[in-house]
Structure 1
Amino acid sequence: EETTVETPSTPSEPIIEQPIATPTIEEPKSTETPVEEITTPEVPEPPPEENLDLLRQQVTSYLTERSDRLKQRQELREQNLQAEKTRLNAEQQQAAMTRLDSSIKRIPPFIKRLRTLTEQQRDALSRDMQTLNLTRYISEVATALTEAKLKMSDVWSSVQICSLLHQRYPDFSMSLYENWLKVLQKETLNDNLSKVRVDLRLYAELITVHVLPIQQSINHLLTLLTALINNDKDFSNLTILISFCRLCGEDYAEIFSNKIRKIIVKLDENIDDTNPSIFHTNELKQQIRQMLNEYFQKLSVYLIDEYKQLQKQDQLMKRTME
């Protein structure tokens, strides 16, 4: 008999279905060119409108100060000229002075105070002067006034004191001038620039109000200005000349503020900027103005050269730092 042997059947492994990968379809690239955004150009803001009232105020203030300054000098000049015309003779002068105090206790302290003259002391010095007989001390008084170390704000007070002395003492003018020749020498102008700056203005003001002998003093002033301009290789005298132009420039060179003149033109109004200084001749003004113009031209060339040198140094430093 045939026997059949049954072989055990092995279970079949489960079939795992793999997912079918679908290919990614790339979106077609757009061929359209991007539209540029249209930007509107920025409109610059208009400059702020100038305050015309403020400009008028600046002009009015400048012209008022200028008019007051000219009037102040004109009045003092007329007083000095009038005193020269109505001087007492020698006998009358001596008789008038004998009634005043000439004691040794009062005069030396008075002269000492002149060396430290300030605007605050002016009235007290003027009162004391009316009671003192300084006839024998005129040289010492002149020396004290020329050697005093003044501030610029004290200059006009010194001019007034000198005017009172000139009106009372006939020989004061020449004594003061001789002392200025010792103090303001062209060879020593660079020794003390700050004092020269003040002294030059005081000297020029004394000429304007007719305290100093006119022709000799003007000649010496021209000598000083020539020395300050021609011997200034490094322009160290610039501050002295700027101060002279600012404070005495109208009297001696017809210098008028360029800023104010431009404002007057801009306002286009009927503003009277005439009434020039008439204390000195036009020939003198033109001569000094020409000297100052030449100095300005030299200064301009000097500054341009200095600027070019600085540019070269800057470029050289940049190369070395690379």
Structure 2
Amino acid sequence: MYIDLQELIFNYIIEATARFREKTAIRLKNQAGAMCRPDEKHLRNLDSSLKKNTAFVRKMKTFSASQAESLIKDMTALNLSKYISEIAAALVESKLKMTDIPSAVTISNPSKLRVDLRFYADLVNVGIFPYKEGLALLGGVLTALIQGDKEEHKNINIILSFCKHCGEDYAGLVPKRIRQLSEEYGICLPKSDLLTPEKTRNVRQLLKDYYASLCRHLIKEHNELQAFERQNKRILQTKGELSGERRERLDSLQSSYDKLLSNTISFADILDEDVPELSICGMKHFIIAL
């Protein structure tokens, strides 16, 4: 068991270090590339045929990770300078899977992209967008998603996805189990060099504030569900049955609460926070995130 736990944390360190190095290398390459764009003479020597260029745009509309290598090869031979907007639109409108995003990042170009939070965060991370402006826009979007959603938490899945895929780089998030093992064995964990420690703390605090509001929401729904169940119990004792409307209402409350509880447990694990203490019929208990 001891060996298995050590292997777990060492594998995490190896994989995290490789991820950070790969993203840093791509970022440096893209930042250097922005300083030496191909000139008109170079572009004129590339293939500008309408047929091949439009075919490339069509391929981008059905982009998947398996196509990345062949598309990059095509890019080196085609003069796509007049098709950047079409390519960008095709890429972000394609039905990307999470597994496609790392490959999509390697062939993206700066443009007026309409992208999801995770995709945009990865583009900023690897230097596709200018660092200062890219981070400012990302921070603005993340703040708007969180600050305007502290009551209903309709954006929770977007925020969870960001934390899961980008939290390591932007907020220094580490899985709870890995953090516990690193402390137990006295092992230092690798960290991303994308943001300064201060900026990383600011992002993490923003996420923690959102989690705190999520906990308040969970407790509120928990209390509402408990109160409704007590009412139903009294009705059953006096009338012997519940109306169809009350049964539907109970199902709705239970479904909403279960979903909220599941999201809270997932978020707590990602942020390394405790799940709130709840009470049932006057008896307190802790929900344990496994």
Residue 119 of structure 1 contacts residue 154 of structure 1 at CA under 8 Å; is this kept in 2?
A: yes
Task: Give the corresponding residue for 2:221.
Answer: 306
Q: Helix, strand or coil: the match of 1:117?
A: coil
Post-superposition offset of 1:283: 3.5
1:144 corresponds, among 90, 94, 117, to 90
Structure 2: 5+ residue stretches without partners = 238-290
Aligned partners of 2:118 and 2:46: how far apart in 1?
A: 33
Post-superposition offset of 1:300: 0.6
Q: Helix, strand or coil: the match of 2:48?
A: coil
Aligned partners of 1:241 and 1:211: how far apart in 2?
A: 22
Residue 155 of structure 1 contacts residue 202 of structure 1 at CA under 8 Å; is this kept in 2?
A: yes
Opposite residue 132 of structure 1, the aligned amino acid is: L
Percent of paired sites with the same residue: 34
How many residues align? The count is 236
Q: Helix, strand or coil: the match of 1:135?
A: coil
1:127 corresponds, among 73, 76, 84, to 73
TM-score of the two chains, using structure 2 as the length reference: 0.76
Post-superposition offset of 1:82: 2.5
Residue 182 of structure 2 contacts residue 188 of structure 2 at CA under 8 Å; is this kept in 1?
A: no
1:262 aligns with 2:180: yes
Task: Give the corresponding residue for 2:236.
Answer: 321
Residue 5 of structure 2 contacts residue 181 of structure 2 at CA under 8 Å; is this kept in 1?
A: yes
Post-superposition offset of 1:269: 2.5
1:209 aligns with 2:157: no
Task: Give the corresponding residue for 2:8.
Answer: 58
Task: Give the corresponding residue for 2:105.
Answer: 159
1:219 aligns with 2:136: yes
Aligned-pair Cα RMSD in Å: 1.7
Aligned partners of 2:46 and 2:172: how far apart in 1?
A: 44
Aligned partners of 1:243 and 1:145: how far apart in 2?
A: 20
Task: Give the corresponding residue for 1:74.
Answer: 24
Residue 116 of structure 1 contacts residue 149 of structure 1 at CA under 8 Å; is this kept in 2?
A: yes
Task: Give the corresponding residue for 2:49.
Answer: 103
Task: Give the corresponding residue for 1:19.
Answer: none
What is the CA deviation profile of residues 216-258 of structure 1, one whole-angstrom value per residue up to 9, with x for unaligned ones?
2222212211221122232121111111111111211111112
Post-superposition offset of 1:138: 1.7
What is the CA deviation profile of residues 270-313 of structure 1, one whole-angstrom value per residue up to 9, with x for unaligned ones?
4231x311112334323222211110110011101111111112
Opposite residue 78 of structure 1, the aligned amino acid is: L
Aligned partners of 1:132 and 1:52: how far apart in 2?
A: 55
- The structure whose Rg is larger is 1
Aligned partners of 1:86 and 1:126: how far apart in 2?
A: 18
Opposite residue 130 of structure 1, the aligned amino acid is: T
1:115 aligns with 2:69: no
Residue 208 of structure 1 contacts residue 280 of structure 1 at CA under 8 Å; is this kept in 2?
A: no
Opposite residue 140 of structure 1, the aligned amino acid is: E
Aligned partners of 2:188 and 2:152: how far apart in 1?
A: 40
Task: Give the corresponding residue for 2:204.
Answer: 289
Post-superposition offset of 1:129: 0.9
Opposite residue 129 of structure 1, the aligned amino acid is: M
Aligned partners of 1:227 and 1:148: how far apart in 2?
A: 25
TM-score of the two chains, using structure 1 as the length reference: 0.69
Opposite residue 181 of structure 2, the aligned amino acid is: I
Structure 1: 5+ residue stretches without partners = 1-50, 163-171, 185-198
Task: Give the corresponding residue for 1:244.
Answer: 162
Residue 206 of structure 1 contacts residue 212 of structure 1 at CA under 8 Å; is this kept in 2?
A: yes
Opposite residue 84 of structure 1, the aligned amino acid is: A
Spell out the pairing of 1:26-45 with structure 2 (5 A cutoff): none
Aligned partners of 2:84 and 2:34: how far apart in 1?
A: 17
